[in-house]
Amino acid sequence: MTWPILYAVIFLLAFGLSAALCALARRVGLRVGLMDRPSGRKAHAQPVAVTGGWGFFSTFLLLVLAGSLLAGPVAGLLPPGWDEVRRYMANIAGVRTEILAVLAGATLLFALGAIDDVRPLGPRLKLTVQVLAVLPLLLAGITVRGFLPLPLGWLLSLFWIVLLTNSFNLLDNMDGLSATIALVICAVLSVAALQGGERWLPALFLCLAGALAGFLCYNFHPATIFMGDAGSLVLGYLMGVFSILVTYYEPSPAIPTGLPILMPLAIMGVPLFDTLSVIFIRWRTRRPILQGDRNHFSHRLLAMGFSVRQAAVAIALLTAATGLLALPLRRLAPGPALLHLLALGLLFAVIIMLEIAGRRGAMPGTRADHAPNPPAPEHAALQPGRPDASG
């Protein structure tokens, strides 16, 4: 029971600290003018601070740094019966380089997003900094492993992390959506890490999950604080890094197929689907890729009559479903594993059907388009800060 107690303490500590720091960040943002003012198609009636990322990332940064630096001394204070925890904490110095690499890249992207929240930056500069943020990881040996030679592993790691960084930036288009999905993914990755025999990775993931839970106290609809680009960029980056840190497959009799290598695609499937579908629609209609619109999956659900809260929860539940279906792939024989993949495919088929149905509901000439008083949630869908979080 020692590990569950430790994980619960980490989550609750991060939750409490994040709730306090996000409240402070909200007051500071409003005082210094770092906020989103209502105008045009924005739904909120009052200025809202865009400093939520400051609150939850500061929490994550402080706790992870404290844990990596103080784990050794604290290990000696643990009571009897905590021998395994004590051993892991005493050896935390062995992964300190990797921890610092993750924090260095995250801090760089946080700084990029913070500047972009004050003065919007161009896409080329943002992409360049995103690439630079991955370099500390490669130098520390944090790359996609397996059957790929090292150069291809580096390239795949770079592509994966940059893709997820921008996916969560795009996903930040509705109150509570991006943070809720990230929290669910942290929980699923924690279970995946435990399946692989890891003990310190769930502590890292649950630290961020707790920080996001504290932030959601103010960000769930109706939001009183937004994460801003400072939050969404660093969140996507951490999701990409976390998914790489977990070991999904190692050749052994206990893992009868190589299908577990598909687990990160399934766990991240919903945000990736949203990103790729939006990019495809914009490309097909010959509109700029980075121009905001209402083609996200969340907007489709709102067009079908979902409230903002219902849409956020529904997408989070779909994320949990795809992640939970992926977890058993480690232990399943080829036949049952293929059935799980078929179930995943059918689940994404349902998502595509919902996407199509929502698109029809938003088309000109439909009842939703000609309603005399369109429901407020449809307009509240957009992250009230900009047409789209893509910058």
Give yes or no for a contact between 190 and 323, defined as CB atoms under 8 angstroms apart. Answer: no
Number of H helices, E strands in the chain: 16, 2
Q: Distance between CA atoms of 265 and 277, rounded to whole angstroms? A: 15
| pLDDT score, position 45 | 55
Q: What letter represents residue 292's amino acid?
A: G
Report pLDDT digits (tens) over 177-214. 999 999 999 999 999 999 988 999 999 999 999 999 99
Give yes or no for a contact between 234 and 211, defined as CB atoms under 8 angstroms apart. Answer: no
| pLDDT score, position 371 | 32
Supply the DSSP string of 128-167, one letter for each residue.
HHHHHHHHHHHHTT-S--SSS-HHHHHHHHHHHHHHHHHH
Q: Distance between CA atoms of 69 and 65, rounded to whole angstroms? A: 6
Domain spans, the chain: 2-380
Query: What averages of pLDDT result for each successive group of 10 residues across the chain (391 residues)?
Result: 90 98 96 74 69 97 93 82 85 89 97 94 94 96 81 92 95 93 97 92 97 96 93 97 92 83 94 89 77 78 90 95 93 91 92 80 37 33 37 33
Helix/strand/coil for 329: helix
Q: Is the pTM of this model over 0.85?
A: yes
Residue spans of beta strands (DSSP E) within 13-89: 35-36, 48-49
Q: Any residues with CB less than 8 A from the CB of 264 and at least 6 apart, and which?
A: 243, 244, 246, 248
Other beta carbons within 10 Å of 205: 29
